[in-house]
Amino acid sequence: MIQKRTEPEAQTSTLERGRATRRRLIETTARLGKERHGAQLSVAEIADAAGVFPNQITYYFGSKDSLLVHAAFLGLLHDTRRIERIGRQAPDAATFRRNIARAVLALPSLPSVAGALAAGIAKAELAPVVDEHLQLLFRQSERFVTQLVGSRGWSLKRPVDVEARTFWSAALGAALLAHAGAHGTGADLDLAGTLTVHDQAGHV
């Protein structure tokens, strides 16, 4: 005998399916954005790649631009895991600063994030979404730096929250300039110089 689902069970199942669809849309868009190096994506191709109907993008995110912001920062947060591994491998603070800066400027997710930042500037309704993801990025970076500095006996010349915000402001600013068409390379930016991590003995 087949038992009918109760109303709460049916609601839970619907919510779970909705969360799964939302997550699949974000992950698919992040992958496409990385593959296309931040190039414009259409609603139709995102929906097709995710196996959903185009109107589900509007249903779950309100707009394609909102989905693009979520996806861009998901890609960046995934990339920062590799950055953290690179940071942990550094034998001293000077190498840490140099390697972290070089790796961040080469992140494949940066073009998509630059597009997300531009969208947040152009459309006021996206600003809170961008800010939410930026705060998450800052907190994650603060935790990483705090743990690493503590375990290595290194020091910072300023508060860790200022360190994280200063570093990412410079990196994302460079990405935004490139997105706007400014010429230049990573060699034109002293991103490592925005970091004040140094050995406890004072070697910079």
Kindly state whether residue 201 falls inside one of the protein's structural domains.
no
Is 202 contained in some domain? no
> What is the DSSP code string of the chain?
-PPPPPHHHHHHHHHHHHHHHHHHHHHHHHHHHHHTTT----HHHHHHHHTS-THHHHHHHSSHHHHHHHHHHHHHHHHHHHHHHHHHH-SSHHHHHHHHHHHHHT-TTHHHHHHHHHHHHH-GGGHHHHHHHHHHHHHHHHHHHHHHHHHHT-B-SS-HHHHHHHHHHHHHHHHHHHHTT----GGG--GGGG---B-TT---
pLDDT in tens, 57-114: 999 998 899 999 999 999 998 899 999 999 999 999 999 999 999 999 989 888 888 8
> Is 200 domain-assigned?
no
Number of structural domains found in the chain: 1
Evaluate if residue 147 carries a pLDDT over 50.
yes
Query: What global pTM score does this model have?
Result: 0.81
Quote the pLDDT of residue 186: 61
Per-residue pLDDT at 201: 52
Residue 199 has pLDDT above 80, yes or no: yes
Residue 203 placed within a domain? no
Confidence grade of residue 9 (pLDDT, cut at 50, 70, 90):
low
pLDDT band at 204 (very low <50, low <70, confident <90, very high): very low
For residue 145, the enclosing domain spans: 7-194
CATH number at residue 89: 1.10.357.10
Domain annotation covers residue 150:
yes
Q: What is the pLDDT of residue 12?
A: 62
What pLDDT does 161 receive? 96
Residue 175 in domain? yes
